[in-house]
Amino acid sequence: MMKNKTIIAVLMSLLCISAPLTGTAFPGQMIISASAEEYLFQTNCSYIYNSLSADQKSVYDQLLQSCREVDESSGIYETIPAVTSRKLSSAEMINLSSIFVFDHPEFFWISPNYEISASGRSVTYTMKLYSQYQDGTARQETKQQLIALEQEYLNQAAAYDSDYEKAEYFLKALREDITFGYGEDHIDQSIASALLDKKTVCAGFSKLYELLCNASGIDVMTEISLNHAWNVIFLDEHWYHVDVTYDLFLYSDSELHEYDLTRGLYTTEIDGEEISFYMHEPYQAFYSFALPDTSQSYEKPLSAGDANADGSINILDVITMNRAVLGKESLTEAQLRAVDFNQNGKPDSEESLAMLKYIVGLIDSLTAVSENK
């Protein structure tokens, strides 16, 4: 138990969460597919929740129910209703509850402080609220402010057609609007610091990016190392790294490691043992599940019809397309997406003919082949 608390304390100190050693939970990253009935936006995806054991899901569901009770109430709460398990250890409860916090950024009022007790085989865990949000009126007023600010970002993102463009917009907008730093109200781990104070740390950036992308239908979750938090995003059938704090967009594992090499190794001490690590190296001891495969390099979407990926649409693209139809040339995933107008998953002569018609000016668009036969 003490070893687990020591690990959590190190994580929290490195991520600049100020809280007692024996009563602080570190936000982690388990994901649940929860309905948005009690909140305006979908705030998370289902990747990790689906990997949890039945016992873990039971505790997670209790936490969600308790937090929703607080979130909907105008009453005074110093803590959420307690959650109890006879299956999970104290260490497992701390990890799972900590992970829950990062997975639900809409519960901006959850502080890093907690209470935990054990009696026989039962373990009881309670999250504490930030003092400024214990009053229900203040909590509800802030919630409405945050929803309005979130909606402004979502309205702007709606002008973009693709998930790629929306995800890129959110990163650029957050970096432009919000600075890195620590506010005077000590809520740096909450989306409230990012949206209201316009100043936050990596946890606040990651939570807000996660919320906005998921609200737009783009699956995003958060990963953590011993001193940092960032996001991973599911885009075009693969997972990629996104780090708002350092302006990194759609990096693979190898690309992210190359970046980390420029910053060098960090060191810390846990239970008398010195540990060296890179900033974007997930702390594996904290996870009881497999993280998403982020080994794939991202291929930026090509313009419709750009079969040879040279940035322009001309007769050379038709030649490439015809060779692909005949099986003499293979197309990358990005190239196939650029020419698969009828969405049948393969290059065909109908699409090749449409490209030729587009080049000579017989049709104005390549997005609806079936309408231009």
Mean pLDDT of the chain: 86
User: Of 247, 249, 215, which Cα lies nearest the Cα of 232?
Assistant: 249
Predicted local distance difference test score (pLDDT) of residue 251? 97
Domain ranges of the chain: 2-286, 315-371
Entry pTM: 0.79
pLDDT at 158 over 90: yes
Check: CB of residue 232 under 8 Å from CB of residue 252. no
Give dist(CA 18, CA 9) in Å, integer: 10
Q: What average pLDDT does range 293-303 have in this prediction?
A: 87
pLDDT at 270 over 70: yes
**Which residue in this structure is represented by tokens 């007023």?**
141
Predicted local distance difference test score (pLDDT) of residue 284? 76
Cβ-based neighbour number of residue 32 at 10 Å: 22
Give the CATH architecture of domain 315-371.
Orthogonal Bundle (1.10)
Give dist(CA 104, CA 100) in Å, integer: 6
Strand order in the sheet with 110-119: 83-85, 122-129, 110-119
Predicted local distance difference test score (pLDDT) of residue 367? 63
DSSP letters for 214-258: HHTT--EEEEE-SS-EEEEEEETTEEEEEETTTTEEEE-HHHHHH
Query: For the CA atoms of 315, 301, 216, 111, what is the dihedral angle to 10 degrees?
Result: -170
Predicted local distance difference test score (pLDDT) of residue 294? 96
List, for residues 326-368, the tens digit of each pLDDT value.
999 999 888 998 999 888 889 999 999 999 999 998 888 886 5
List, for residues 21-50, the tens digit of each pLDDT value.
234 333 333 333 333 345 678 888 888 788
